[in-house]
Chain A
Amino acid sequence: MALLDRAEWYDIARATNWTPKYVSQAELFPDLMTGAQGVPMEKWEVYDEPYKTSYPEYVRIQREKDAGAYSVKAALERSRIFEDADPGWRSILKSHYGAIALGEYAAMSAEARMVRFGQAPGMRNMATFGMMDENRHAQIQLFFPHEYCPKDRQFDWAHKAYHTNEWAAIAARHAFDDLFMSRSATDIAVMLTFAFETGFTNMQFLGLAADAAETGDFTFASLISSIQTDESRHAQIGGPALQVLIANGRKAEAQRLVDIAIARAWRIFCILTGPSMDYNTPLEHRKQSFKEFMQEWIVGQFERSLIDLGLDLPWYWEKMIAEFDYQHHAYQMGLWFWRPTLWWNPAAGVTPECREWLEEKYPGWNATFGKCWDVITDNLLNGRPELTAPETLPIVCNMSQIPICAVPGDGWNVKDYPLEHEGRLYHFNSEIDRWIFEQDPARYRDHMTLVDRFLAGKISPPNLLGALIYMNLQPGEMGDDAHGYSWVEKFREPAKAAAE
Chain B
Amino acid sequence: MSEPQIAKPLKTWSHLAGKRRKPSEYEIVSTNLHFTTDNPDAPFELDPNFPMAQWFKKNRNASPLKHGDWNAFRDPDEIIYRTYNMLQDGHENYVFGLFDQFSARGHDAMLEDGWARHLARLYTPGRYLMHTLQMGSAYLSQMAPASTISNCATYQAADSLRWLTHTAYRTAELKKTFGDLGFGTGERGIWENDPAWQGFRELVEKGLCAYDWAEGFVALNLVARPAFEEAGLRALGQAGRHNGDTLLGLLTDAQLADAERHRRWTGALVKMALETEGNREALQNWLAKWAPLGDAAIDAFCAHLPDSPGAAQTAREACAALRRGYGL
Contact = CB atoms under 8 A, between A and B. Distances in A.
Interface of A: 1-4, 8-10, 12-13, 15-16, 18-23, 27-28, 32-33, 54-56, 59-60, 62-63, 66, 70, 102, 105-106, 108-110, 112-113, 115-116, 121, 124-125, 127-128, 131-132, 135-136, 138-140, 142-143, 146, 149-153, 155-156, 159-160, 162-163, 170, 173-174, 177-178, 181-183, 401, 442-447, 465, 469, 474-477
B89 A115 contact: no
Interface in B288-328: none
A135 B154 contact: yes
B142 to A, nearest CB: 4
B135 A60 contact: no
A467 to B, nearest CB: 13
Chain B CB within 10 A, most for which of A1, A444, A474: A1
B136 to A, nearest CB: 8
Nearest to B99: A3
Contacts of A132: 81, 154, 158
A132 B202 CA distance: 29
A12 B168 contact: yes
Contacts of B187: 15
Interface string B174-209: 000000000010011001100000000110011011
8 contacts: A18-B188, A22-B206, A28-B205, A32-B51, A56-B92, A136-B81, A163-B35, A474-B4
B141 A139 contact: no
A9 B7 contact: no
Nearest to B211: A30
Contact of B96 (A56, A155, A445): A56
Interface in B17-46: 25, 28-30, 32-36, 38, 42-46
B192 A115 contact: no
A9 B168 contact: yes
Given A109-B142, A153-B10, A156-B10, A55 B92 contact: yes
**Most chain B CB atoms below 10 A, which of A127, A170, A182:** A182
Contact of A177 (B45, B81, B157, B165): B45
Contacts of A153: 7-10
A136 B80 CA distance: 9
B7 A474 contact: yes
Nearest to B131: A16
A63 B85 contact: yes
Contacts of A447: 42, 45-48
Contact of A102 (B35, B47, B85, B96): B35
Given A16-B127, A32-B55, A63-B85, 18 more contacts: A8-B172, A12-B172, A18-B188, A32-B52, A59-B84, A62-B81, A106-B36, A109-B142, A112-B150, A112-B157, A128-B158, A128-B161, A143-B28, A149-B10, A160-B15, A182-B53, A447-B45, A447-B46
B252 interface: no
A3 B100 contact: yes
B139 interface: yes
Return the 8 tightest CB-CB contacts between A and B, nearest first: A476-B7, A115-B138, A173-B45, A13-B168, A9-B172, A139-B29, A63-B85, A177-B44
Contact of A20 (B104, B162, B205): B205
B110 interface: no
Given A12-B172, A475-B7, A66 B85 contact: yes
A272 B75 CA distance: 35
Contacts of A55: 92, 158, 161-162, 165
B46 A476 contact: no
Given A15-B188, A19-B192, A163 B168 contact: no
A461 to B, nearest CB: 8
Contacts of B44: 173, 177-178, 181-182
Q: How large is the interface on B (under 10, 10 to 19, 20 to 34, 35 or more residues)?
A: 35 or more
Contacts of B2: none
B45 A116 contact: no
Most chain A CB within a 10 A radius of its CB, from B99, B139, B141, B151: B141
Nearest to A60: B89
A13 B164 CA distance: 7
Contacts of A13: 127, 164-165, 168-169
Contacts of B114: none
Given A63-B89, A177-B46, A2 B104 contact: yes
Among A3, A115, A132, chain B packs the most CB atoms within 10 A around the CB of A115
Contacts of A150: 9-11
B14 A108 contact: no
Given A16-B131, A125-B161, A128-B138, A27 B209 contact: yes
B11 A476 contact: no
A192 to B, nearest CB: 13
B221 interface: no
B255 interface: no
B158 A112 contact: no
A9 to B, nearest CB: 4
B204 to A, nearest CB: 9
B38 A70 contact: no
A22 B169 contact: no
Nearest to A56: B92
Contacts of B47: 442-447
B165 A56 contact: yes
Contacts of A128: 134, 138, 157-158, 161
Contact of B34 (A1, A105, A121, A143): A105
A448 B33 CA distance: 23
A173 B42 CA distance: 12
Interface in B129-167: 131, 134-136, 138-139, 141-142, 147, 150-151, 154, 157-158, 161-162, 164-165
B169 A9 contact: yes
Contacts of B150: 108-109, 112
A282 B251 CA distance: 56
B14 A156 contact: yes
B197 to A, nearest CB: 10
Residue of B6, B46, B49, B103 with highest tally of chain A CB at under 10 A: B46
